[in-house]
């Protein structure tokens, strides 16, 4: 089997030859931004939305991406063509680039673009059938004044610490609160709950990344279902009293949550609203990534 081809430092190289300088500020300080992107049926799902978010993240840290957006889109598409992938997960990174051991980003004249395509199954199939367990963790989501959660940065320690705590609790995903004690998001997913024919999710102001899958599911709720959609602040107690809870993310897609802090949610099984949204999201993927699109 041929090695995966990775784009790095302006060229395509086999995985075994893909190396980054120890002086790259992405490595030294997590100084950079990234996107996780999915390909289905040989087509990239919502690439323009991912690239728009990448550019917004880069602008917030005053990082100038060294290629035009359409050029980067073509490189992302090339990553699955070169590797002969039909379905894939793509990690697109833009680091500050090579500099010195100081913090000054002006010492990094050329940002580095890295594109990795590979297979990914974030959660096993039985989680989608039976639901996953989660836990509310003590690690709080970064406050906007410190590091804006809307920036999808390469510095992921906040989320990693939450993930570590969740794993110690014996569950695969963490639910993080913001500084005010409201539910924000997970270590890698956005949070939704269903109550009394309404689908509720935290607003971006709660300390939430504007997830591409989150936006797609919100569109689906508004246009394809009879549920009311609300963006609202809420405390963890409301999750525990919900009829259903589900998470969304590029890698996770739409996944039901059946236990939080070892307590069952609703019936303790994936609910009808979540199952409907899973199917409608799959329909959207098929529609937007069919070969005719």
Name the domain boundary from 86, 118, 150.
118
Backbone angles phi, psi at 96, to 5 degrees: -60, -25
* Residue 253, SS3 per DSSP: strand
> pTM value?
0.96
Same domain, 63 and 163: no
In degrees to the nearest 10, what's the CA dihedral of 91, 97, 98, 99? Answer: -140
Percent of the chain predicted with pLDDT > 90: 96
Same domain, 106 and 146: no
Name the domain boundary from 93, 118, 143.
118
Dist. CA 100–CA 31, nearest whole Å? 13
Point out the catalytic residue in the list 152, 228, 263, 269.
Answer: 152
Chain segment 222-260, per-residue pLDDT in tens: 999 999 999 999 999 999 999 999 999 999 999 999 999
Active site residue 77: no
**Close Cβ partners of 236 (under 8 Å, ≥ 6 residues apart):** 136, 175, 177, 181, 183, 260
CATH number for 251: 3.20.10.10
Position 71 scores a pLDDT of: 98
Provide the residue range defining the domain that includes 156.
Answer: 125-289
Round the average pLDDT of the chain to a whole number and report it.
97
Q: Are 5 and 83 in contact (CB under 8 A)?
A: yes
Chain segment 121-147, per-residue pLDDT in tens: 779 999 999 999 999 999 999 999 999
Backbone angles phi, psi at 57, to 5 degrees: -60, -45
Given a cut of 50, is residue 272 above it in pLDDT?
yes
Same domain, 43 and 136: no
Position 120 scores a pLDDT of: 82
Position 1 scores a pLDDT of: 66
Q: In total, how many domains does the chain have?
A: 2
Q: Is the dihedral of CA 85, 88, 94, 100 positive or negative?
A: negative
């Amino acid at each position: 089997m041929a090695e995966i081809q990775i784009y790095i430092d302006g060229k395509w190289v086999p995985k075994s030859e893909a190396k980054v300088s120890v002086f790259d500020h992405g490595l030294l300080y997590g100084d950079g931004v990234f996107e996780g992107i999915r390909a289905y049926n040989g087509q990239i799902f919502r690439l323009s939305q991912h690239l728009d978010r990448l550019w917004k993240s880069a602008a917030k840290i005053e990082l100038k991406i060294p290629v035009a957006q359409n050029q980067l889109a073509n490189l992302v598409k090339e990553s699955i063509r070169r590797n002969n992938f039909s379905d894939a997960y793509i990690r697109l990174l833009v680091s500050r680039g090579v500099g010195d051991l100081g913090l000054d980003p002006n010492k990094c004249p050329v940002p580095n673009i890295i594109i990795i395509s590979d297979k990914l199954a974030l959660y096993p199939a039985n989680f989608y059938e039976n639901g996953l367990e989660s836990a509310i963790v003590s690690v709080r989501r970064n406050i906007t004044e410190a590091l804006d959660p809307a920036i999808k940065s390469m510095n992921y320690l906040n989320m990693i610490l939450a993930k570590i705590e969740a794993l110690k609790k014996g569950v695969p995903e963490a639910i993080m609160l913001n500084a005010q004690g409201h539910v924000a998001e997970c270590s890698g997913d956005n949070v939704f709950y269903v109550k009394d024919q309404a689908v509720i999710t935290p607003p971006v102001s709660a300390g939430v990344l504007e997830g591409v899958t989150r936006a797609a599911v919100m569109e689906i709720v508004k246009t394809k279902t009879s549920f009311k959609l609300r963006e609202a602040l809420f405390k963890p107690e409301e999750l525990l009293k919900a009829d259903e809870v589900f998470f969304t993310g590029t890698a996770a897609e739409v996944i039901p949550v059946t236990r939080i802090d070892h307590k069952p949610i609703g019936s303790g099984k994936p609910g009808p609203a979540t199952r409907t949204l899973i199917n409608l999201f799959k329909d959207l993927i098929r529609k937007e990534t069919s070969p005719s699109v």
